[in-house]
Chains A and B, each alone.
Chain A
Amino acid sequence: MEKRVVFKHKFLPYLLLAPQILITLVFFIWPASQALYQSFLQEDPFGLSSTFVALQNFKMIFTDEIYLRSIRVTLVFSFSVAVIAMCVALLLAAMADRAIKGATTYKTLIIWPYAVAPVVAAVLWYFLFNPTVGMIAFYLKAIGIRWNHTLNGTQAMILVIIAAAWREISYNFLFFLAGLQAIPKSFIEAAAIDGASPGKRFWTIAFPLLSPTAFFLIVMNIVYAFFDTFGVIHAITEGGPNQATNIMVYKVYHDGFLSLDLGGSAAQSVILMIVVISLTVVQFRYIERRVHY
Chain B
Amino acid sequence: MKLGKWILVVSFLVAVLFPATVLAEKITINWWHAHGGRLGEKVNAIADGFNKLQNKYQLVATYKGSYPDTMTAGIAAFRSKNPPHILQVFEVGTASMMAAKGAIKPVYEVMAESGLPFDPNAYLPTVTSYYTTPDGRMLSMPFNSSTPVLYYNKDAFRKAGLDPNKPPKTWPEVEECAKKLVAAGYPGGFSTAWISWIQIENFSAWHNVPIGTLANGFGGMDTEFIYNSPLHVKHIQQLADWQKDNIFVYGGRRNLGNAKFSSEEVAMYTESSAGYAGFKKTCKFDFGTSMLPYWPDVPGAPQNTIIGGASLWVMAGHPAEEYKGVATFFTYLSSPAVQADWHQFTGYLPITTDAYYLTKGQGFYAENPDMETALKQMTLHVPTENSKGLRFGNYVQVRDINYGELEAIFAGKKTAKEGLDDAVAAGNKLLRKFEAANK
Q: Are A and B interaction partners?
A: yes
22 A–B contacts from the bound complex (CB under 8 Å): A44-B99, A46-B103, A47-B78, A47-B79, A48-B103, A49-B437, A49-B438, A132-B259, A133-B263, A150-B250, A150-B253, A152-B411, A153-B411, A238-B253, A241-B411, A242-B405, A242-B407, A242-B411, A258-B68, A258-B396, A259-B394, A260-B96
Tell me the residues in window 371-414 of chain B with beta carbons closer than 8 Å to chain A beta carbons.
394, 396-397, 400, 403-405, 407-408, 410-411, 413
A36-53 Cβ-contact flags toward B at 8 Å (1 or 0): 000000111111110000
Say whether, besides A133-B259, A242-B405, A260-B396, A44 and B265 are in contact (CB < 8 Å): no
Instruction: Give the residues from 196 to 243 in chain A that come closer than 8 angstroms, CB to CB, to chain B.
Output: 238, 240-243
B207 at the interface (CB under 8 A from A): no
The 4 A-B residue pairs whose C-beta atoms are closest, nearest first, are: A259-B397, A241-B407, A150-B252, A242-B404
A261 within 8 Å of B by Cβ?
A: yes
Q: Complex formed: what's the CA distance from A260 to B256 in Å?
A: 24
Q: Within the complex, which residue of B101, B103, B394, B404 is in contact with A243, where a contact is CB–CB below 8 Å?
A: B404
Contact A46 B407 (CB under 8 A): no
- Do residues A258 and B400 form an inter-chain contact, with CB atoms below 8 A? yes
Known contacts A46-B79, A242-B403, A260-B72, then 19 further A-B pairs from the complex at CB < 8 Å, ordered by chain A residue: A42-B437, A44-B96, A46-B78, A46-B100, A48-B102, A132-B260, A132-B265, A133-B263, A150-B252, A151-B407, A151-B411, A152-B411, A238-B253, A242-B408, A243-B404, A254-B400, A257-B68, A259-B394, A260-B96
Complex contact A45–B405 (CB within 8 A): no
Contact, CB under 8 Å: B438 / A240: no
| Residues on the A chain within 8 Å of B396, using CB | 258-260
Query: Digit string of A242-284 for contact with B (CB within 8 Å is 1, else 0)?
Result: 1100000000001101111100000000000000000000000
Q: Is the CB of A241 within 8 A of B404?
A: yes
Kindly provide the distance from the CB of A128 to the nearest chain B CB, expressed in whole angstroms: 15
Q: How far is the CA of A240 from the CA of B411 in the complex (A)?
A: 12
Report the minimum CB–CB distance from A119 to chain B (whole Å). 15
Closest B residue to A256 by beta carbon equals B72
Q: Is the CB of A240 within 8 A of B403?
A: yes
Indicate if B439 sits at the interface (CB-CB under 8 A). Answer: yes
**Do B404 and A44 touch across chains, with their CB atoms under 8 A apart?**
no
Residues in A with CB closer than 8 Å to B103 are: 46, 48
- Which parts of B87-113 form the interface with A (CB within 8 Å)? 96, 99-103
Which B residues lie within 8 Å of A241 (CB)?
Answer: 404, 407-408, 411
* Chain B residues whose CB sits within 8 angstroms of the CB of A240 once the complex forms: 253, 403-404, 407
Hey, which chain B residues are within 8 Å of A48, CB to CB? 100-103
Report the separation of the CA atoms of residues A43 and B394 in the bound assembly, to the nearest whole angstrom: 13
Report the minimal beta-carbon distance from A218 to chain B, rounded to whole angstroms.
Answer: 32
Residues of B within 8 A of A132 (CB): 259-260, 263, 265
CB within 8 Å of B: which residues of A? 42-49, 132-133, 150-153, 238, 240-243, 254-255, 257-261
Instruction: Find the A residue at minimum CB distance from B100.
Output: A46
Chain B window 66-81, contacts with chain A (Cβ cutoff 8 Å), 1 for yes, 0 for no: 0010011001001100
Most B CB contacts (10 A, CB to CB) among A46, A133, A243, A258 go to: A46
Cβ contacts under 8 Å, B56 to chain A: none
Most-contacted residue by chain B among A153, A238, A240, A242 (CB, 10 A): A242
Q: Which residues of A contact B394 (CB under 8 A)?
A: 259-261
CB-CB nearest in chain B for A133: B259
CA distance A47 to B77 in the complex (A): 11
Whole-angstrom CA separation of A261 from B75 in the bound complex:
13
Q: Which residues does chain A contribute within 8 Å of B78, judged by CB atoms?
A: 46-47
Please tell me if the beta carbons of B75 and A260 are within 8 angstroms of each other in the complex: yes
User: Which residues in B have their C-beta under 8 angstroms from that of A258?
Assistant: 68, 396-397, 400
Kindly state the separation between the CA atoms of A43 and B437 in the bound complex, as whole angstroms.
6
Q: How far apart are the CA atoms of A242 and B405 in the complex, in Å? A: 6
Q: Which of A45, A150, A238, A261 has the most CB of B within 10 A?
A: A45
Q: How far is the CB of A40 from the nearest CB of chain B, in Å? A: 14
CA distance A151 to B176 in the complex (A): 25
Cα(A224)–Cα(B404), bound, Å: 27
Q: Which one of B96, B263, B439 contacts A45 once the chains associate, using CB atoms below 8 Å?
A: B96
- Residues from chain B with Cβ under 8 Å of A46 in the complex: 75, 78-79, 100, 102-103
Q: Tell me which residues across on chain B come within 8 A of A259, comparing CB atoms.
A: 394, 396-397, 400
Give the chain B neighbours of A152 by CB distance below 8 A.
411
For the complex formed, measure the closest distance between the CB of A132 and the CB atoms of chain B, giving whole angstroms. 5
Contact with B100, one of A42, A45, A153, A261 (Cβ below 8 angstroms): A45
- Is B433 part of the contact surface with A, judged by Cβ < 8 Å? yes
Q: Per-residue 0/1 for B114-137: is the Cβ within 8 Å of any A Cβ (1 yes, 0 no)? A: 000000000000000000000000
Q: Is the CB of B438 within 8 A of A44?
A: yes
Q: How far is the CA of A259 from the CA of B260 in the complex (A)?
A: 29
